A and B are shown apart, each in its own frame.
Chain A
Amino acid sequence: MTHDELKGLVPVFALDALTPADEEELVAHLKVCRECSRLLDDHRETAGMLGFAASSQRAPADLRDRIMSQASRTAQMRATSAPVQQQRSSPPPWRWHWAGLAAACILALVAGGLAFLRIDSQTEPLTQQQIVIARQREVLDLISSPDSIMLSMVPTPASRGAEGKAFISDTEGSAAVVVSGLDPPGDDVYTLWLIAEYDPKPVTDFVPEDGLALLPVEAPVRPDMTLAVTREPDPGRSSPAGPVIMSAYRPEDLA
């Protein structure tokens, strides 16, 4: 869907009246579009006000008591930007699948030459290839590290079957995204974004090799941030214009 089409869905979303497929696409878009997010704030206020149209109902006395009793036993979760340490003794088996994909990316680079990542770079090809391979190996270490957190990228209908994982290391203050099954972008490029407070920052433009891409994120991915892949009409964009392909949100309370 275009931006205007998605924008038109915002009031319907505020009413909790979207179909699941539309909702999925709009939620992904909201993570990267400040305009639509602000519009949603306004419409949520309106929708919340609509709730007062229903007749009030006197609650039983014990409902208040139940709520207060449960609240006194329920810990509050607090937003925090402090790094979270993971305590794991060994990498779980599912990591090896993604580590294998990452290794495949490196082999593809070595065997086939540079085909993706940093397509806007002015570096000489051989030097750049060596740099990229070194960075890919660092990413492979990150993926295999028991200290990193893995998040599944949530695909939108525009993903057309692609899937991805994000690996976040608070210890290293970095992250990586591994994506597989991406369609060739043709004249477009894919872009990875790091989003905090609806403010998307481009991480890298890329073109996948055989559908695969291994994307280092040399910045901390803190709680309440989102990683998103979009398909853009041109590289070097400072804000996304194309559809979201997939995204991963790091909850504030994920440890």
Chain B
Amino acid sequence: MRSRTGKPSKVDEQFDEAELVGGLAAGDERCLAALYDRYGSAALGLAFKICGNRTIAEDIVQEAFLALWQRPDRFDAKRGSAGAFLMGIVHHKAVDAVRREESVHRREDNFAGGAPEFSEDEVVDAAWISMRRQKVLAALRQLSDVQREALELAYLQGLTYSDVAARLNIPLGTAKTRMRDGMIRMRALLSQSEGTGSYDS
């Protein structure tokens, strides 16, 4: 696979996230390009899922990658993966946008063109993201219905726990407990999954 800059990218070889972020810290723009090639479509999918507006979702993704570019030192490979770190930035910015702009709740039906189509260059990255997605979805399916519902409302719709409680007509404490227990279970399931089949290799 080739990056769209035409240069061999890190993704052509083993995708070493820590090395790429190290490259960012050294001001190597090719490393930013490689991270975008790997995570851009997933980041846009998450931003769009939360805010439901294509223009705003693209702005959020742009801001997130630039935030990583400006402050690569905020990522510490010992504390987690670059992918999760980046998605965390995207999520935070998307939730901020949703809470700031009620208008973005006016959701567009979908991106023009429907399902994503990937060029040959993007197939490896798309397959890799798909594999990761399947692992997360498999873990989500193992949660209880109420835990999964609470996590989806909070994470993918950008609701606070008090919003979740109101939406589900449950006490605040119950909403917090469902979210907390769901996160603890997800953490265990994803750790298991990581132990039996690598995300990053």
Contact = CB atoms under 8 A, between A and B. Distances in A.
A70 B179 contact: no
Contact of B71 (A15, A44, A77): A77
A15 B36 contact: no
A53 B95 contact: no
A12 B161 contact: yes
A93 interface: no
A156 B80 CA distance: 29
A64 B27 CA distance: 17
B48 A57 contact: yes
Interface residues of A, number: 44
B88 A47 contact: yes
B70 A77 contact: yes
A35 interface: no
A44 B80 contact: yes
Interface string A43-72: 111111111111111111001101110111
A27 interface: no
Q: Name the residue among A43, A50, A63 with the largest chain B CB count within 10 angstroms.
A: A50
A231 to B, nearest CB: 25
A52 B87 contact: yes
Contacts of A44: 79-80, 84-85, 88
B156 interface: yes
B83 A58 contact: no
A48 B183 contact: no
B90 interface: yes
B15 to A, nearest CB: 15
A6 to B, nearest CB: 12
A66 B62 contact: yes
Given A12-B154, A46-B190, A51-B87, 15 more contacts: A9-B176, A12-B161, A14-B183, A19-B162, A44-B85, A49-B83, A49-B190, A50-B140, A51-B91, A52-B83, A58-B111, A58-B118, A59-B58, A63-B44, A68-B29
Interface of A: 8-9, 11-12, 14-19, 41-60, 63-64, 66-68, 70-72, 74-79
11 contacts: A12-B180, A43-B187, A49-B136, A56-B42, A57-B57, A58-B122, A64-B36, A64-B40, A67-B61, A67-B62, A70-B62
